[in-house]
A = this chain, B = another copy of it.
Amino acid sequence: MGEFELIERFFKRTASRNPLGVGDDCALLAPAPGMQLAVSTDMLVEGRHFLSTVDPSALGHKALAVNLSDLAACGATPLAFSLALALPRVDESWLEGFSRGLFALADAHGCELVGGDTTQGPLNICISVFGEVPAGQALLRSGARAGDDIYVSGTLGDARLALEVFRGRLSVAADVFEAARIRMEQPTPRVGLGQALRGIATSAIDVSDGLAGDLGHVLRQSGLGARVETTAAMGLLAAAADSGAGAGVLSTETRLELVLAGGDDYELVFTAPASAREAIQAAAAASKTPVTRIGRTEAEPGLRLVDAQGTLLQRRYTSFDHFA
C-alpha cells in the first residue's frame, strides 16, 4: 500500500465544518467573526510517550487527547486538527486501530482531520489542533491574581501510578491498576470544562508534566506563589492505599510524588476568585466534570505544599523534563 492509498483508506474524510480539508496543499479554516484561532502542537514518540505494546486504538485516542487538553486549558472550542505520522512500515491492522481510536475522540468533539503528512521513519505522531475562542477570552497562564482559589479537575497521579506498576516499581490491587491504566492510555481532555470556565477562571493550564511544575508555570507567569494541599485530588491513589494490596508500598510520600510530579494527567488546574465559587460549581456541573479546590494563590512567590493537617512539607517536587 502506497502513501496516497494509506491516506485515502485510513484518514481521508470530507470536511464539513471547515472550508477545505484533506487533499490540497493547505487546509482552510474560517474562525467565526470575533473569534481567534487557538493552535497547539504535541509530538508523541514511541518509547518516550507510549510503550510499543500499547493498543493502537488507545494510542490514537491519546495522541489527539493530549492536544485537545491544550485547547481545553485555553477555553477553546475544537475545530480541526492535522496529523503527521512517521511509520516504520505500513501495518494495516495498526492503522485500522489507530485511526478508529483517533476518530472516535475527534467525532465526540466535532474536531475534523483537515490535513497532515505521512512518511516512513521511527514511529512518531505529531498532531496540531485548532480551536476557536472569542477574542480576549482565552484562559491564559498569566491571569491569576493573589488570593485566587486554585482548583483541579478530576484526580491526579493515576497515569503515573499505572506506569510505575507497569515498570514493576509499585503494586496495587488489580481493579485499581485497571482503572489507572485506562487513565494513562485514554485520558479525558476536559474540553467542556475549559469552555465553561471562560469568563470565570482567571488562569488555566493542563497538567501534563505534573501539578508542581505546571502550576509553577501559572505562578511564574502571573508573578505569584501558592499554598496547596492535594489530599482531596488523590482519587485512585486513595483507593490504592485503602485497598490493602500494596497499601504498604503506597506511602504518603509516594502518593505525594505521584500527584505532584507524576505527569500525564491531562487535568485542568485553574484559578478563580473566591467570589466565583458558585459559578465554578455550576461550570463543573454543566460540563459533568468533578472539580476540587486545592489551595490559594499568594503574593509571595514559590509553591508551598502543606499536608492535610496544614503542616508545611519540606520536600520539593519538580516537573517531568524530557531532557533532564
A contacts, CB < 8 Å to B: 1-4, 6, 19-20, 23-31, 33, 36-43, 45-49, 70-71, 73-74, 76, 80, 82-87, 89-90, 114-122, 124, 126, 128, 130-131, 133, 135, 138, 140-142, 204-206, 221, 321-324
Contact of A29 with B25 at beta-carbon distance under 8 Å, contacts A126-B84, A126-B126 already known: no
Q: What's the nearest-Cβ distance from chain B to residue A17, in Å? A: 13
A38 to B73, CA, bound (A): 24
Chain B residues, Cβ within 8 Å of A84: 41-43, 126
Q: What's the nearest-Cβ distance from chain B to residue A179, in Å? A: 27
A115 to B74, CA, bound (A): 14
Q: Which of B45, B82, B135 contacts A86 (CB 8 A)?
A: B45
Chain B residues, Cβ within 8 Å of A70: 25-26
Contact of A120 with B26 at beta-carbon distance under 8 Å, contacts A41-B82, A42-B84 already known: no
**Given contact pairs A24-B141, A26-B39, A26-B70, a sample of 8 additional A-B residue pairs in the complex whose CB atoms are under 8 Å apart:** A6-B323, A26-B74, A39-B115, A40-B82, A41-B115, A45-B120, A84-B126, A117-B126
Q: Decide if B37 touches A37 in the complex (CB within 8 Å).
A: yes
Q: Decide if B24 touches A140 in the complex (CB within 8 Å).
A: yes
Chain B residues, Cβ within 8 Å of A126: 41, 43, 84, 117, 124, 126
Q: Decide if B82 touches A128 in the complex (CB within 8 Å).
A: yes
Chain B residues, Cβ within 8 Å of A29: 36-37, 39
Q: What's the nearest-Cβ distance from chain B to residue A77, in Å? A: 12
Q: Decide if A122 touches B120 in the complex (CB within 8 Å).
A: no
27 residue pairs A–B, Cβ–Cβ below 8 Å: A4-B321, A24-B140, A24-B221, A25-B40, A25-B71, A25-B141, A25-B205, A26-B70, A26-B73, A27-B40, A28-B138, A30-B36, A30-B37, A37-B130, A39-B115, A41-B115, A41-B126, A42-B84, A43-B85, A45-B120, A45-B124, A48-B119, A49-B119, A118-B323, A121-B124, A122-B122, A124-B126
A316 to B279, CA, bound (A): 67
A28 to B74, CA, bound (A): 10
Chain B residues, Cβ within 8 Å of A124: 43, 45, 86, 121-122, 124, 126
Q: What's the nearest-Cβ distance from chain B to residue A217, in Å? A: 9
Chain B residues, Cβ within 8 Å of A322: 3, 118-120
Chain B residues, Cβ within 8 Å of A27: 38-40
